[in-house]
Amino acid sequence: MQTPPHLSEAEWQVMRAIWSRTPPSTAQEIVDDLAGATAWSPATIKTMLNRLVRKGALRFEKEGRAYLYTAAFPEEAHRKVASRGFLQRIFDGSLTPMIAHFLETHRLSEEEIGEIEALLEEKKAKRKPRP
């Protein structure tokens, strides 16, 4: 199975605009979505779309004068690759120090703490052998 390519911060913004729509999306739809959220010109956005096609993150087909773009990978596949890279680069691949760092440096609400506890309990339950 093919792995999604690495995305820059700007490319993540473009991909989020694409993932937020029902595929396929025209270049103009993406330009319109990003125009209010960024200071990028339409030409810059179209250049980024072309770069994402070359990288293999996007697929396109031409329909008349319009280019229709579809994500080549789901958002979750990109998250998985990006999070593994982050974990490896910043925490030498070790999950516990990363979690400890975030818990120490971020203020968590009671609700967030409860959600994290529930996730850990769910993970524990999945690991226990069933009689």
pLDDT digit string (tens) for 106-130?
999 999 999 999 999 999 888 866 6
Task: Calculate Rg over the CA atoms of the chain.
Answer: 19
- Give me the pLDDT at residue 49, please: 97
**1: pLDDT strictly greater than 80:** no
pLDDT digit string (tens) for 56-92?
999 999 999 999 999 999 999 999 999 999 999 999 9
Burial class, 126, CB count within 10 angstroms (exposed 0-12 / middle 13-18 / buried 19+): exposed
Q: Can you give the pTM of this predicted structure?
A: 0.79
Extended strands (E) in 33-129: 58-63, 66-71
Residue % of the chain over a pLDDT of 70: 96
